[in-house]
Amino acid sequence: MSEAADRARVGELLGREPQAQFVVVVRHPSGDPVVIRNAAFLDDGTPMPTHYWLVDPGLLRAISRIEADGGVKAAQAEVDVAELEAAHARYAADRDESIRPGYLGPRPSGGIGGTRQGVKCLHAHYAYLLAGGSDPVGDWVQRHLETEGSTA
């Protein structure tokens, strides 16, 4: 897909115009976007902590069901704290690499989904995993999706 086609399709999937520059980093075999990698700042300069964003509607629904069933608390209780902290650090470092050297303004902070510790959003963890990140919560989500037959 072209950049313009990606922007239009992601806008459809989000239900609004994207507010930051992004690239599609994971696609369905059909070419439809699954995960986007956002710029570190919105178009208006606001820091954007969520570097990887899940846009696939089927996965969003399936993960929302897991969250509604207490998945955030369950994932946090079941994953190794040190592994989760390391995943947050890797995510933040990956995002921060896209910020130009010497930038002195407000910066995005936190790790996965802007969280400094623990688990905030299973969607963000799974997006990071699909984009190639090492994330114990993303792995946890993957196992639960496989159990209910909802993997990408």
Report pLDDT digits (tens) over 20-47.
Answer: 999 999 999 999 999 999 999 999 999 9
Phi-psi map region of 39: left, alpha, beta (phi>0 left; psi -120 to 50 alpha): beta
Q: Is 0.75 topped by the overall pTM?
A: yes
Q: Are 138 and 119 in contact (CB under 8 A)?
A: no
Q: What is the per-residue pLDDT for 152?
A: 56
Asked whether the predicted pLDDT for residue 136 surpasses 90, the reply is yes
Asked whether the predicted pLDDT for residue 127 surpasses 90, the reply is yes
Q: What is the per-residue pLDDT for 70?
A: 97
Cβ contacts of residue 38 below 8 Å, gap of 6+? 20, 21, 22, 48, 50, 51, 52, 53
Query: Residue 60's pLDDT band (boundaries 50, 70, 90)?
Result: very high
